[in-house]
């Protein structure tokens, strides 16, 4: 399997996931009218922020642990990439859930702090964009063809 072609396919999956919550966010923020407010003392907001931080931490921790385990295996590059695909998509799914939840809470409550939490999630998602050099070094791939 060509590593660069595989990573291009993974980038397509990444952009598909990323564009889904961006479109949803634009729909909620710009199209659906709401009474936006800014009330930081909400219990739902406190629980939500704790869950956001916990899920984002777990997404990056899970990815780091699984990637280290995959890199340590003495298997072919194709098999490493196959295992890495599941790990990367799982991390994206966790971050994507955080983003969608923030937009849903913004829609339900109208509290702008959920929009800011969404932006944090979206930035975390952008940080995870698969780059060929990064993936090759993380997985210790032998070749790049």
Q: What is the pLDDT of residues 39-89, one digit of tens each?
A: 666 677 788 889 999 999 999 999 999 999 999 999 988 999 999 999 999
For residue 110, the model assigns a pLDDT of 80
For residue 3, the model assigns a pLDDT of 81
How many other C-beta atoms lie within 10 A of the C-beta of residue 125? Answer: 23
Q: What is the pTM of this model?
A: 0.87
Query: How far is CA 102 from each of CA 32, 67, 70, rounded to the nearest angstrom?
Result: 15, 28, 32
């Amino acid at each position: 399997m060509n590593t660069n072609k595989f990573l291009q396919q993974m980038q397509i999956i990444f952009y598909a996931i990323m564009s889904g919550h961006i479109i949803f966010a634009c729909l909620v923020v710009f199209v659906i009218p709401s009474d936006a407010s800014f009330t930081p003392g909400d219990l739902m907001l406190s629980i939500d922020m704790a869950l956001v931080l916990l899920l984002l931490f777990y997404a990056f921790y899970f990815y780091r642990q699984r990637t280290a385990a995959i890199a340590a295996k003495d298997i072919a590059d194709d098999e490493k990439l196959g295992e890495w695909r599941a790990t990367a998509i799982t991390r994206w799914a966790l971050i994507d859930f955080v983003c969608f939840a923030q937009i849903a809470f913004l829609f339900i409550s109208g509290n702008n702090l959920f929009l800011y939490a969404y932006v944090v999630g979206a930035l975390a998602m952008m940080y995870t964009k698969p780059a060929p050099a990064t993936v090759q070094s993380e997985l210790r791939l032998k070749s790049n063809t």
